[in-house]
Amino acid sequence: EAQVTQNPRYLITVTGKKLTVTCSQNMNHEYMSWYRQDPGLGLRQIYYSMNVEVTDKGDVPEGYKVSRKEKRNFPLILESPSPNQTSLYFCASSLSPAGGLKTQYFGPGTRLLVL
Amino acid sequence: QKEVEQNSGPLSVPEGAIASLNCTYSDRVSQSFFWYRQYSGKSPELIMSIYSNGDKEDGRFTAQLNKASQYVSLLIRDSQPSDSATYLCAVGRAGGATNKLIFGTGTLLAVQP
């Protein structure tokens, strides 16, 4: 089954404790992206990757890191989480490197609470 | 001004009626337009994509695009309670290395049985 998977689905952590949210897709997609969704602010892009070893900042990259060592995986790293990073996070992928111009498929989401 | 604007709703329609959802965007170079449906606590799911002016129909859904007016809409015919969800308008913008999708904040649709 073609899908985007994320882990964990739910996470409660404390300020400053490093964490990684994994994202994996099995569709051989070139483009992958991370979004956060907050009430009243909608979905905002954190980072994106147009291919292996090619990543760039989205609209709200502060406090986040990513890597793209393999085509299928695109982990999101919070080196020192803060309460303002409490949010619902989505990973997405798209076949075309022009990810903004083609259909993106979303993972199930990771709900993060930083105390 | 937000890049993609939607009325937050809720938009309430009776079962069987036509629901009309609207979206405006600010960047004239936008090239692709999408409607996603999102149930509470779930991930966005693509409903429609449209790339050129006019109407595009898929089952009960019709997307309408007017680039001159920078306006895109989604019509849902014969609305069902299962259509109750938040509908996200997304606009794709190409810009060299910054191909990106800009989302509106969504319109909450409530279909009353």
CA distance B36 to B30: 17
The reported pLDDT for the residue numbered B100 is: 77
The helix (H) or strand (E) run that includes residue B76 is strand B71-76
The answer to whether B18 contacts chain A (CB < 8 Å) is no
- Residues in chain B with CB shorter than 8 Å from the CB of A108 are 42-43
Q: Is the pLDDT of residue A13 over 70?
A: yes
Distances (CA, A) of A69 to A3, A55, A72, A73, B41: 19, 10, 9, 7, 30
Q: Is the pLDDT of residue B28 over 90?
A: no
Amino acid at B37: R
- Residues in chain B with CB shorter than 8 Å from the CB of A105 are 46
In contact, B113 and B15? CB cutoff 8 Å: yes
The reported pLDDT for the residue numbered B92 is: 86
Q: How far does B94 lie from chain A, in Å, by closest CA?
A: 7
Rounded to the nearest integer, the mean pLDDT of chain B is 92
**At residue A83, what are phi and psi to the nearest 5 degrees?**
-55, -30
Distances (CA, A) of A6 to A34, A45, A88, B81, B110: 11, 16, 12, 29, 29
- Residues in chain A with CB shorter than 8 Å from the CB of B106 are 42
Is it true that the peptide bond before B113 is cis, omega within 30 degrees of 0?
no
Percent of chain B with pLDDT over 90: 78
The reported pLDDT for the residue numbered A1 is: 81
pLDDT tens for B78-111 read 999 999 999 999 998 766 555 678 899 999 999 9
The reported pLDDT for the residue numbered B33 is: 92
The reported pLDDT for the residue numbered A98 is: 62
The reported pLDDT for the residue numbered B98 is: 56
Q: CB-CB: which of B43, B49, B101 is closest to A109?
A: B43
Quote the tokens at residue A100.
Answer: 């903004």
